[in-house]
A and B are shown apart, each in its own frame.
Chain A
Amino acid sequence: MPKQIRMPKLSDTMEEGRLIAWRKKVGDAVKRGEVLAEIETDKADMEFEAYTEGTLAQIVVDAGATVPVGTLIAVLRLPGESEDAVAAAQGATTQPQTPAREPQAPAGQAPATAPPRPAPARAPAAPAPARPAAPAQPRAELPPPPPGERVIAHFAADDDRIRATPRARRLAEEKSIDLSEVTGSGPGGSILVADLESYLSQLEGQPPDSEGVRATPLALKMAGERGTDLEAVKGSGPGGRITKSDLLAYWKREHAHSKEREAVMVRGTLQLSQKRKALIRNMVRSKAEAPHFYIQMDVATEALRNLRDALNREAGEKRPRLTYTHLMLKAAALALERHPHVNATYRSEENDIALYDAINIGLAVDVQDELVAPTVKDCQGRTVWQLAEEANSLIQRARMRKLQPADYADGTFTISNLGMFGVDRFYAIITPPQSSILSVSAIAERPVVREGRIEIGQVTTLGLSVDHRVIDGVRAAQFLAEIKRLLEAPRELAQDGHALGS
């Protein structure tokens, strides 16, 4: 019986293939293993080999055409066969044999007149027309499918699709061979009887394990990789050997047990609030998209403390009590005004850097285990007391959980302060789409060197996390140095007011 050559299935997800080129012409003698054609799917080219000897009798699908998997593409005449047999084989089925998605009768074909076939071949959903179309024969006259080894798909117990010929499948059952261990040399990697024979002869040459446990070489290797003790595994393969399937089933059971153990170890789970979900999304996005770098500077804070105390003394009850946070806020606002390229964002859609008009500074606040960053809007040109009043109002509303979405929207920069928790230094993660964040740590007494002498000084360490897409090292350094200068010589922070009468 002439051999039907079909578009091979090179992948479980392959539905059609393109015939790039025929390497043999009609009439050419073909040896087993010789390349017949080149076939492409996705970005992979496969040299398609003959697995039987014969003569290329007919090319059904021309080079350049794309056809569904299983479509008859050529007919090979076996040694000693006549031309007539070829015509019959060619007419046998031009439809793909591999079942496609939905059973659906193709239009224009007489339904239900075809004789039953051993392998239930369903019609493909809207098959792409094979070019050129083979001469259609009435289906009632179809000859029976060719005998011999034919490849059908098979679903093994572990749902892994294994292809093997029915004869190979029968032999495997007789000899207790785990088909998932056998390398197929047929079309689409399907397993032939010859593959089983070579597998068995390989097993026979295998020396017994030193501890008396017998497993197939593949199972031995897999067990070794995962450190599985084979003593506990039951074998169902040839001679009671442990096979790949035995091992997989064993691991599946073990995995189920470990899930149970894990459930015992977890004390409870926490439902995520909308804010927490947004935070998770934002932080992951920030770390994945914004290439962070970090710089830090020590800042002497004696002058800042003196200024704060003086301002609060003079202001009395009329003005809000200033804190270090308020002064940091004012310093950051001034520095951003002077370094507008820091008050900016990278826009991937436009592939540009947008400079913000407004200076909107977010203050990261922890409210009952929830992190929020209400935004002090339009900081440019406002006095430290105005900023302090707005910051206090926002923080108070945050504590009462009265913040509206607009209160934490549109930030262009953020200050995160962990000083009150005794943190010496840290780097916060940038809040997208902003491009930097200032990390404020505890003010503490530390030894400092001044004019060659070691003294006790009041110092804090400021950290700046920066998105390198927007800000380079030098600019980041200049910006942080500006903040340091403003904090160490802080008179400017109180300007525009009249408390100091300067």
Chain B
Amino acid sequence: MDTPSAASALDVRRLGRVPYAEALALQEDLRTRLGTGASGETVLLLEHPDVITFGRSARADSALLGDAELRRDGYEVFRVNRGGDVTWHGPGQLVGYPILDLRRHGADVHRYLRTLEGVLIDALADFAIAAVRRDGYAGVWLDEKRKIASIGVGLRAWRTLHGFALNVDCDLARFRAIVPCGLAGVEMVSMASVLGCPVELEAVAARVAVGLVKAFA
């Protein structure tokens, strides 16, 4: 029988660099198991190899290259059932996939998005980066133009899939094949590009993990 304390634990798993398809399958599996009570709430923290994913509201012109050209340039390409437009994942970017039952956290989609943003903003503050929310544009921003983290989630029966991607110390040129989030004129930045020095992904992951546990466990 599920005891209350077991239900409240959040299992944060640090994975290394995981191919997108593999991580997606793991998420789906965890979400199914969460639904049947076979496992509890989980967060996956990982990196992806170079990949471009299109959300359900991606516009046709959000990628500047066709799928074939993207693949030739070394990107994997996926179309996925999360909110948001197009985005890039790759080395040096901290990706987080919380698998949660939002009914345990207020059954409020917007509150969930704002909580994720808050966790990232708090973590960035610990690295002396003052980041903010932007009304109407989910994600974490430095100002009107510069975006440091993307958010996009998918829900089935209030159980979450997908999550966030925080640019820690990644090759920002890899964003150039797309119009991030379908927003022209947005500049993607990373913690390293803002601070002007290398940033350890591990250190950021540890900080983000603490924030997630505080927010959701």
Judge: A and B partners, yes or no. yes
1/0 contact string of A260-287 vs chain B (CB within 8 Å): 0000000000000000000000000001
A184 to B153, CA, bound (A): 21
Tell me if A483 counts as interface (CB < 8 A to partner B). no
In whole angstroms, what is the CA distance A41 to B136 when docked?
10
In B175-199, the 8 Å CB interface with A consists of 195-197
Instruction: Tell me which residues across on chain A come within 8 A of B156, comparing CB atoms.
Output: 35, 46-47, 49
Say whether B90 faces chain A, with CB atoms less than 8 Å apart: no
Q: Does B151 contact A (CB under 8 A)?
A: yes
The DSSP consensus for interface residues of chain B is mixed
Residues of A within 8 A of B8 (CB): 221
B196/A189 in contact, CB under 8 A: no
Known A-B contacts A40-B56, A221-B4; the reply to A189 vs B109 at CB < 8 A is no
Contact B55 A45 (CB under 8 A): yes
- Residue A454 at the chain B interface, CB threshold 8 Å: no
Do B139 and A287 have beta carbons less than 8 Å apart?
A: no
B155 in contact (CB, < 8 A): yes
- The residue in chain A whose Cβ has the minimal distance to the Cβ of B139 is A43
| Binary flags per residue of A348-372, CB closer than 8 Å to B gives 1, else 0 | 1000000000000000000000000
In the complex, whether B125 has a CB less than 8 A from a CB of chain A is yes
Give the contacting residue for B111; candidates A12, A20, A21, A46; CB below 8 A.
A12
| Structural contact, B128 and A291, CB atoms closer than 8 A | yes
Q: Does B204 contact A (CB under 8 A)?
A: no
Verify if A42 is at the interface (C-beta below 8 Å from B): yes
Q: Which of B5, B138, B158 is within 8 Å of A42, CB to CB?
A: B138
- Assembled-state Cα–Cα distance A10/B103 (Å): 11
B102-157, CB < 8 A from A: 103-104, 107-113, 125, 128, 130, 138-139, 143, 151-157
Q: How large is the interface on B (under 10, 10 to 19, 20 to 34, 35 or more residues)?
A: 35 or more
Instruction: Give Cα A40 to B125, complex, Å.
Output: 30
Q: Which range holds the interface residue count of chain A?
A: 35 or more
Determine if B107 and A188 form an interchain contact, defined as CB atoms under 8 angstroms apart: yes
Q: Which residues of B contact A469 (CB under 8 A)?
A: 195-196
Query: Is the CB–CB distance between B108 and A44 below 8 Å?
Result: no
Q: Check A11–B128 contact: CB distance below 8 A.
A: no
A79 to chain B, nearest CB (A): 23
Q: How far is the CA of A183 from the CA of B101 in the complex (A)?
A: 11
Complex Cα distance, B190 from A309, in Å, reads 54
Q: How far is the CB of A471 from chain B (nearest CB, A)?
A: 10
Q: Does any Cβ of B come within 8 Å of A18's Cβ?
A: yes
Select from chain A the residue with minimum beta-carbon distance to B7: A221
Instruction: Say yes or no: A40-B57 contact (C-beta < 8 A), given A10-B109, A12-B110, A14-B110.
Output: yes
Query: Which chain A residue lies CB-closest to B196?
Result: A469
A224 CB–B CB distance under 8 Å? yes
Taking a contact as CB atoms under 8 Å apart, the answer to whether A38 and B56 are in contact is: yes
B4 touches A218 (CB 8 A): yes
Name the segment of B14-22, B62-70, B78-86, B206-214 touching the other chain: B78-86
Residues 44-57 of A, flagged 1 when their CB comes within 8 A of B and 0 if not, give: 11110100000000
A45 in contact with B138 (CB, 8 Å) = no
Distance (Å) between the CB of B158 and the closest chain A CB? 7
Contact A44–B4 (Cβ < 8 Å): no
| Neighbouring A residues of B195 by C-beta, 8 Å | 291, 468-469
Contact status B138-A43, CB under 8 Å: yes
Partner of A289, one of B112, B128, B196: B128
B interface residues (Cβ-Cβ under 8 A, vs A): 4-5, 8, 55-57, 81-84, 103-104, 107-113, 125, 128, 130, 138-139, 143, 151-158, 195-197
Nearest first, the 3 closest Cβ-Cβ pairs linking A and B are A189-B107, A11-B110, A43-B138
7 additional A-B residue pairs with CB within 8 Å, beyond A43-B84, A288-B125: A10-B155, A11-B111, A12-B108, A12-B110, A42-B138, A43-B113, A45-B83
